[in-house]
Amino acid sequence: MTEVLIQQLNNSDINWMIANGYQQQLASNTVLIRQQSSIDSLYIVLDGNLTATVKRNSESVLAGAFSALEDDSDLEQEIGHFSSGDVLGETSFLNLSPAATAVKATEKSTVLVLPRQKLLGRLRQDADFACRFYRAIAILLQNRCDRLIQQFIRRQNLKISPLQDIPLLFGELSDSDVDWIVRYSRVEEIAADTMLIRANRPVDTLYLLLRGTVSVSFIENSSSSFANVFSMLENLEESDESPGYEISQLSKGEITGEMALIDTRLSAYSFKALENLQVLAISKQQLSIQLQQNPAMGTRFFRAIAMLVSARVQALIGRVGYGRSTYTLGETLSQNYHYADEIDLNTMDGLSLGGARFDWMLRRLKILV
């Protein structure tokens, strides 16, 4: 993943990181991050290899089944490997939640340690740097999310719960940002069975779902050669069937196509309307230009996308039966227990504000429509 940071950051950014961070040498089997611990630094892997693991949740039926099958009462699941250029500890800059995984070196390794307060100060002072930084974090997190989906979803036939993206996004954006979105977007009615976005095709439009349901399918061989991808698409040209397998269903308050603003690679996901939709459509090109010309808005937008992807990664870990417990309707809540889907107060304030901005946008759109 070295190329992600190199492509997104400039020489000045990298020089600042070198000047304000310090190198930490890790012997093999050294634990860098402990699961459920607070994180006060960002780590960039310079050399070596590290692995991320999560201990099973003893209250999870699914994890308990895995434990019985593998005859391991203290089952740990390995969920990722990290090498040069990978970033760790990003949750401390996005939602202040404890580490969802443990990370340790599998061989002699070196990481660059950036203290949280120093980096936060730089992000507040330099909007251009912040815009590039959050975009890079979003790309790295999306790569991690894709790997987790490949690793778990087909094997365990799980569905990813939607996150209500728009309130989180609008909670990070300013009133003027939302006003720009309203002025430069259009309300569209889309018929059932329409493919909004096809995997391995360019994405031209960002959609905010106002009404209806969308199926999300993941294409496992999205990195196939161009000839294979072209052949697959040619066979599907006259069909509205989505290749791959469904991993989620989205409804009002969700976003599709946002990663096209972050990453230039073709999407590994297809989005199909399951019923008649009403959407707010925003031109990718127009929004990209606005984010480039307005670094402050770019910072807020890319930070929100990084937060969304981070939440999806943590939700995936919880859904496969590892990590913290998730609350189930009907259970008695424990004040002394921290649930995986529990929202901290700062995030809750942002969601409330985002929800209010979303409602304001809907009221204004009724005037425009």
User: Which pLDDT belongs to residue 321?
Assistant: 55
Same-domain check for residues 172 and 290:
yes
User: Which pLDDT belongs to residue 350?
Assistant: 58
Q: What's the token pair of residue 200?
A: 């391995």
Among residues 312, 327, 248, 257, the alpha carbon closest in space to that of 91 is found at 312
Same-domain check for residues 239 and 319:
yes
Residues in contact with 332: Cβ distance below 8 Å, sequence separation at least 6, in sequence order: none
Same-domain check for residues 78 and 224:
no
End-of-domain residue from the set 125, 153, 182: 125
In a domain, 130, yes or no: no
User: Which pLDDT belongs to residue 54?
Assistant: 85
- Letter string b/e over residues 315-353, b meaning 16 or more CB atoms within 10 A of that residue's CB: bbbbbbbbbbbbeeeeeeeeeeeeebeeeeeebeebbeb
Residues 42, 116: Cα–Cα separation, whole Å: 6
Place of tokens 């290899």: 49
Same-domain check for residues 308 and 190:
yes
SS3 203: coil
In a domain, 138, yes or no: no
End-of-domain residue from the set 125, 140, 156: 125
In a domain, 7, yes or no: yes
Residue-by-residue DSSP string for 329-354? TTPPP-TT---TTPPPHHHHHHHHHH
Helical (H) or strand (E) element with 115: strand 109-115
In a domain, 274, yes or no: yes
Q: Which amino acid is at 293?
A: Q
CATH assignment at residue 279: 2.60.120.10
Same-domain check for residues 173 and 102:
no
User: Which pLDDT belongs to residue 243?
Assistant: 58
User: Which pLDDT belongs to residue 228?
Assistant: 45
In a domain, 240, yes or no: yes
Same-domain check for residues 67 and 188:
no
In a domain, 252, yes or no: yes
What is the residue range of 103's domain? 2-125
Virtual torsion, Cα 322, 328, 331, 333, nearest 10 deg: 70
β-pairing verdict for 245-250 and 214-218: antiparallel
User: Which pLDDT belongs to residue 63?
Assistant: 47
Look at the chain and report how many structural domains it folds into. 2
In a domain, 150, yes or no: no
Among residues 48, 19, 17, the alpha carbon closest in space to that of 32 is found at 48
User: Which pLDDT belongs to residue 368?
Assistant: 53
Residues 35, 12: Cα–Cα separation, whole Å: 33
Same-domain check for residues 304 and 216:
yes
In a domain, 257, yes or no: yes
Please give the span between the terminal C-alpha atoms of the chain, in angstroms, as a whole number: 44
User: Which pLDDT belongs to residue 331?
Assistant: 40
Same-domain check for residues 111 and 229:
no
Same-domain check for residues 322 and 200:
yes
Same-domain check for residues 115 and 180:
no
Same-domain check for residues 200 and 344:
yes
Give the global pTM.
0.81
List, run by run, the mean pLDDT of 10-residue segments along the chain (369 residues): 79 94 96 89 94 70 45 66 90 76 94 94 95 93 86 66 75 90 93 93 92 88 48 49 75 89 85 95 95 95 91 77 44 44 50 76 67
End-of-domain residue from the set 125, 151, 173: 125
227: exposed, middle or buried (Cβ count in 10 Å: 0-12, 13-18, 19+): exposed
